[in-house]
Amino acid sequence: MTLPPLKLFLLFSLFSISFSHETPSSHDHHHVFPRPLILEYSELEEEVRLRCSSWRFAGEANNLSPWKTVPKECAEYVKEYMTGKGYVYDLEIVSKEAEEYAKSVQLNEDGLDAWIFDIDETLLSNLPYYAAHGFGLQVFDHAKFDDWVVKGVAPAIEPSLKLYEDVLNLGYKVILLTGRSEQHRAVTVDNLINAGFRDWHQLILRGSDDKGKRAVIYKSEKRSEMEKDGYRILGNSGDQWSDLIGSSLSVKSFKLPNPMYYIS
Ligand SMILES: [Mg+2]
């Protein structure tokens, strides 16, 4: 798996030699080649990075068992991912692919072609909250999270806002389906509008009958009701597999990245 120190040393020496040959005009190639940086990038760090990347991939592919917190050794990795370009690029590609699909569908004239969006970590970002709570390292605290929700200041996830507007302009009926409670309707509406979202057709929150239901059951039931109302669910965007699987599935579903928490 790992190279013995001697081989590593030879590897770096070779890099230095080939580098100096390619730049004969360089007066002091030892300063040009970022040698100390490469040596500081230890094998252990690389191993952790690879293992955490495998963990994240397994999560995104829904191959992990239900999990409560980010593994301790991946705390720094997840923080780096969430605050760096990786998360943004992953969001952008989902948005772009969803838009391509949305544009490719010939909609009916009856106004019953629907696109479902989840809210948290799909349209609105709770990153400011999670940044203050270890980016998923801490066990989820409902009371503290609700304190954050009622502030109503979650920013838009920009690539999702773009998809949202494209989908609206194409003529889809936008239905918002969230695990947030009905008692947070007003603050959620204000937050969505302040973040730039508009003209949704329906906003469905957990009512008293939905309390205690697993998300996958609650969301499947709500999609079933949409179908009974005549809607054709053509697209569905969510950051949790429980937004997308179950029954009354969308024709096509789009999974946004989220390595911070898991909801079944
Ligand atoms: Mg969500």
Rounded distance from Cα 256 to ligand 1 centre (Å): 9
Beta bridge partners of 255: 238
- Residue 18: what pLDDT? 36
> What does the chain come to in residues?
264
- Ion ligand 1 — residues with CB under 5 Å? 118, 120-122, 239
If you ran DSSP here, which 8-state letter would residue 135 be given? G
Q: Does domain 52-255 fall into CATH 3.40.50.1000?
A: yes
Rounded distance from Cα 214 to ligand 1 centre (Å): 14
| CA–CA separation, 36 and 93 (whole Å) | 35
Rounded distance from Cα 1 to ligand 1 centre (Å): 38
Phi, psi of 219, rounded to the nearest 5 degrees: -70, -35
Contact 178, 192 (CB under 8 A): no
Rounded distance from Cα 126 to ligand 1 centre (Å): 10
Give pLDDT tens digits along the chain (264 positions): 344 443 433 333 333 333 333 333 334 444 454 555 554 556 769 999 999 999 999 999 999 999 999 999 999 999 999 999 999 999 999 999 999 999 999 999 999 999 999 999 999 999 999 999 999 999 999 999 999 999 999 999 999 999 999 999 999 999 999 999 999 999 999 999 999 999 999 999 999 999 999 999 999 999 999 999 999 999 999 999 999 999 999 999 999 999 999 999
